[in-house]
């Protein structure tokens, strides 16, 4: 296969519509993920339009939790899309290794996906295919929402043929199962709730979706299963999943920003409020990402139950927290005992060290 301007290296994965290759964009010597539409699919004008729509929709988004799209085109009947190469694994592969995630880690992933959906909503887009396979976890632990191939403008039904519902059955919202044309962001929020349920329990809310018709009927007719009594989930997380997966759209959060606030509140109630800006907060964020990428959260929990530490990664988060508390308490005591004393200004070296520390989650 030849795509002008790219050196194709190997295959990363194959789906129903396209194959994704690892490639080098020769002009910039940049490694990219090159998505190439299958020839049989490319002959269908509707699928070609859907594929090009992915490029247009994704190119409008510039957000740390969304896979970036660089370029798209066609050559001798080959339709291709060059996008950010995220080295790591998708959430489905992660769950395949670990079965389920601790509540705090699952909430952390859900919050970052909610941020991606909020960015999409700002551009008037509905993803329509939020599922573990489309949630990528980089080697640095960054979470990115991928595959906007099914994305469309809110209220635009032109891409979906009459009577055909596009998406993955197990994570389709009730209105998608009914074939509704007027989908909005609340459909994605239902899917996000289903993903959060799956992360915590290791089970999909309505089964694996092997029988599409039965699964869709259950999604439409049955109340979603709750997290009550499952994996020791906290009441705030139970309530968040229940609201995200409400059968009636009007009972869900009205916007992705509202869903994000709901999930962040659940984080705060289990002691995972967003870290403050600055070096200490950055260290906490890095620790969370390290736990995600290495799968060390489960090992840490198991070792803690046995009364011994698992690894340096497992100890990093509580150590950072303890150091942060100690600094705050120490500053408070110094202020109380010697208010007339002022702290010496930071040296230039210290200032440079803080200001030049890069944030994680950049281009990979």
- Residue (of 77, 72, 76, 84) closest to 30 by Cα position: 84
192: helix, strand or coil: helix
- Residue (of 214, 198, 211) closest to 131 by Cα position: 198
Distance (Å, whole) CA 174 – CA 94: 27
Longest CA–CA span in the chain (Å) reads 78
34 phi, psi to nearest 5 deg: -105, 110
Cβ(187)–Cβ(128) below 8 Å: yes
Cβ(219)–Cβ(178) below 8 Å: no
199: helix, strand or coil: helix
Active-site residue 10, yes or no? no
Catalytic residue among 90, 104, 108, 129: 129
Q: To which residue do tokens 């295919």 refer? A: 129
Whole-Å CA distances, 133 to 36, 97, 143: 18, 14, 12
* 320 Cβ contact list (under 8 Å, min separation 6): 280, 283, 284, 287
Distance (Å, whole) CA 300 – CA 304: 6
> What sign for the dihedral angle of Cα 36, 42, 48, 50?
negative
- Residue (of 190, 208, 283, 285) closest to 245 by Cα position: 190
Cβ(111)–Cβ(288) below 8 Å: no
Cβ(88)–Cβ(136) below 8 Å: yes
* 75 Cβ contact list (under 8 Å, min separation 6): 2, 3, 4
> What sign for the dihedral angle of Cα 236, 241, 247, 250?
positive
Which residues are the active-site residues?
A: 129
């Amino acid at each position: 296969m030849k795509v002008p301007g790219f050196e194709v290296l190997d295959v990363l994965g194959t789906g129903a519509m396209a194959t994704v290759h690892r490639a080098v964009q020769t002009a910039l010597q940049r490694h990219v993920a090159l998505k190439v539409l299958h020839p049989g699919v490319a002959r269908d004008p509707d699928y070609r339009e859907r594929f090009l729509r992915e490029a247009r929709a994704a190119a409008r988004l510039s957000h740390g939790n969304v896979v970036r799209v660089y370029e798209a085109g066609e050559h001798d009947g080959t339709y291709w899309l060059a996008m950010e190469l995220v080295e790591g694994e998708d959430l489905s592969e992660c769950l395949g290794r670990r079965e389920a995630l601790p509540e705090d880690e699952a909430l952390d992933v859900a919050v970052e996906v909610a941020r991606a959906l909020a960015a999409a909503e700002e551009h008037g887009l509905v993803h329509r295919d939020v599922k573990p396979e489309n949630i990528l976890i980089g080697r640095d632990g960054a979470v990115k929402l991928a595959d906007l191939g099914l994305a469309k403008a809110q209220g635009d039904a032109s891409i979906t043929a009459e009577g055909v519902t596009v998406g993955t059955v197990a994570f389709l919202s009730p209105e998608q199962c009914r074939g509704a044309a007027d989908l909005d962001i609340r459909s994605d929020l239902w899917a996000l709730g289903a993903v959060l349920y799956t992360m915590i329990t290791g089970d999909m809310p309505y089964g694996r979706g092997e029988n599409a018709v039965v699964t869709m009927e259950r999604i439409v007719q049955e109340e979603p299963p709750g997290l009550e009594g499952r994996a020791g989930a906290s009441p705030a997380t139970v309530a968040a999943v229940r609201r995200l997966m409400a059968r009636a759209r009007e009972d869900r959060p009205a916007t992705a920003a509202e869903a994000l606030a709901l999930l962040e509140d659940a984080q705060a109630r289990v002691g995972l409020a967003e870290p403050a800006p600055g070096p200490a907060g950055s260290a906490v964020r890095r620790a969370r990402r390290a736990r995600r990428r290495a799968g060390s959260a489960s090992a840490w929990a198991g070792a803690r139950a046995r009364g011994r530490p698992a690894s340096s990664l497992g100890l990093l988060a509580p150590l950072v927290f303890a150091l942060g508390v100690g600094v705050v308490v120490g500053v408070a005591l110094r202020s109380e005992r010697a208010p007339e004393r002022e702290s010496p200004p930071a040296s230039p070296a210290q200032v440079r060290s803080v200001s030049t520390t890069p944030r994680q989650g950049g281009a990979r």
